[in-house]
Structure 1
């Protein structure tokens, strides 16, 4: 997985509360265990018209959204079922971070384990960000994971993240990668233990 240290990007605003994982990636796209290609199905029921053509009114289909790596969305993002495909689809489209006032626990854990940073902000900060990026989609936001800060214009706020997830994201490793990085220490322990 790609390491996450500091990201500066434009922001896609999707001001909808309670977006569940079936809206993020509809169930009909869950037949695969391969992460690749799921970005094309992200928000499929909102993103495409009945004839399969992109809906020009949906935010992801607008020119200003192309290449943006941060999604700013409503409260309780990722609720519903526990499908890991939701994080895969967001990453597949090109998002590296999602900002909300809260995330469903299972979605949050799936995101962190796959290199997608869920950033929780206060309702007041959320309102300020919504207002700014709806008015001026060309503005950028910086997410600095090392200092756990968001920076835009003349503002800077901190966001919470647990130390283990932060370490894994900074190093670009999942939980298995973290354990494998400890192989020399594990081997040394086993060697000492077996010689007792």
Structure 2
């Protein structure tokens, strides 16, 4: 994953509440197996009319078509657990979503794919939304855990320290395990290899044993 430290971008405003994962990434595209290119299907029914032409949906409208931040209403990413909702966002270029609340599984999936979900509620969320609607850039600073508005106001947000560290280092779950427990894993493997060497015929011995048992 790419490291996430700071991000400055215009933010696409989406005031709608309860935007579920089927809206974000429609089920009919779930058969696509490659993450690359999924961005073109993001919000497909909102971005394209029945005749295939583009609508006036916010992500089709400059400058928001280049946004790397999305400011949404409450309960964003509810519904199914499909990870493709996050894959579509990140492939489109959106790596931060700001909302008063999120669907639980969607929130977790963001961290697994290098995206930052920021919980900002109440009046603070309204100020962030208004700044997004103005078309001015926001800055997300993960180190200081703040959203910096165009007028200089810094709005703080909370994030689990483990997840924050993983994003800043660009580590997915496997990467985090190797980073935190790599020495213990290598020590265990060394003891296992030493105590049960017959399980590790990976240095040519397996081929020799096969050759000896199948002469000619």
Question: Shorter-chain TM-score: which interval?
Answer: over 0.9
- SS state of the match for residue 32, structure 1? coil
Residue 139 (structure 2) pairs with residue 142 (structure 1): yes
- SS state of the match for residue 66, structure 2? coil
| Structure with higher RCO (Cα < 8 A, 6+ apart) | 1
Runs of 5+ unmatched residues, structure 1: none
Name the structure 2 match of 1:84. 83
Q: Deviations over 1:63-96 (max 9, x none)?
A: 2113210000100000000000000000011101
Runs of 5+ unmatched residues, structure 2: 196-216
Segments of 4+ moved more than 3 angstroms:
189-195
Q: Number of matched residues?
A: 192
- The structural deviation recorded for 1:132 is 2.5
When the two chains are superposed, the root-mean-square deviation of aligned CA atoms in Å is 1.6
Q: Deviations over 1:75-123 (max 9, x none)?
A: 0000000000000000011101000000011000011100110000021
- The structural deviation recorded for 1:188 is 2.8
- The two structures have a TM-score, normalised by structure 1, of 0.92
C-alpha separation in 2, matches of 1:189 and 1:145: 35
Name the structure 2 match of 1:69. 68
Structure 1 range deviating more: 74-83 or 156-165: 156-165
- The two structures have a TM-score, normalised by structure 2, of 0.84
Q: Deviations over 1:34-86 (max 9, x none)?
A: 2111100000011001111111x111111211321000010000000000000
Name the structure 1 match of 2:176. 178
- The structural deviation recorded for 1:192 is 6.9
C-alpha separation in 2, matches of 1:21 and 1:159: 24
Name the structure 2 match of 1:25. 25
